[in-house]
Structure 1
Amino acid sequence: MAKLPDVDSAYALTSPDEIKDLYRQWSHSYDVGFGESQGYQLPREVAAAFVGAGGEGPVLDVGAGTGLVGEVLRVMNTEPIDGIDLSQEMLDMAAMKGIYRHLVVCDVTEPLDLRDAPYNGVVSAGTFTLGHVGPSAIHNLIDVAATGAVFVLSVNQAHYATGGFEAVFEDLGAQISALQFRDVRIYDDRADEVHRNDIARLVIFTKS
């Protein structure tokens, strides 16, 4: 029997093709088999930080997946929301929820050509993590944001420490303002013992 997708298999990914294959397999069970069973609270943390920082729509949800961040943003009356992701199958599940204005398959490591840019806000939960996307993609997100746009990007703490994120944010210099960080748990106490205390760093800033 093939091993079911899980956190460890996601962290071990090494290429876009592997990412697409894993999330194709995971798409139908992701919300319940992962989101609920692991107590995946990072989408709520990202959405709350965005609204708390004065973020408003239209907002781009980067690595939207099945729409977990979008669900919280809609409850918080933040719309319209567009979503992008590398996985068509994950976006198909998000589309069924009726949350998003537009959903587009694209690779954030490449320049983004989005018809509704620029956005007033950019959010991301779980995309900048081990085995997924590195810091170079942040420049592509800056390019599709309006002046004054609020960003809340979660970065797995281990990935932040080893992936070169600190240097990228320093290099952005005057392109961004009001830069702040907040460390939050990715999962609640329902998570397995190995990942229960995994931490994400929320990077919060405004495009100057």
Structure 2
Amino acid sequence: MSRNDALAVVKWTPMSMCMCTDKKMAEGLGIKELLPAYLDPNLQSPDLPTGVCFASGSSGYDPLTPTITGTLSLFKQLELFKEYIVKLTGIVGEERARAIIANSLFLVSAGNNDILISYSLIARKLHYDFPSYAALLVSMASTFLRCDLTLKDLYSLGARHIGVFSTAAVGCSPFDRNRGGLLRECLELELEEAAWFNSELSSELDYSELSQNRCFSDS
């Protein structure tokens, strides 16, 4: 297996700025200058073995979030990944495709828009206090990542090296600071909510079966 095969990166994130991280990650691993979007109409077959991006800006763990923002849900991205596997297998063969996927790095980044949009601005806040909503998000994240028998999750499709990013400083984004009055101050409540969610997600990953299979958090 070539070095590029072993270090293939599949980026999986609904963050709108994912391509900046993609470029640094792909370049840092010596794979290629830019990780292309899977849905890019100019995507070429040689791009598939060395990784693609399934990102959909403003999506999230909560299925309500992509419904509000009109973006692709994580499970729709998962369907695209299944399609990717079929295409990759057609290019390199089944055995090599399995090896590429098993040795790829999968990066998952979600939660920002769930907290900012679905909870803080939309109806979720009417039905949940934040600890309850954070628990719901953690459960959704675990369902997406974990190994089970439904074949609807990332692990069961062959991913073995999964990195999960914590949420950013929700409450200090330009959008939030524009809501912070004339001084454009950070919104302390949303900062606290993001910190709460990050702590709960990190604990779930640390103590789940995923931690035995190289699933890790940056928290």
TM-score by length of 2: 0.38
Indicate the structure (1 or 2) with the bigger Cα radius of gyration.
2
The structure where strand makes up a greater share of residues is: 1
The structure where helix makes up a greater share of residues is: 2
Q: Which has the higher relative contact order, 1 or 2, with Cα contacts under 8 A spaced 6 or more apart?
A: 1
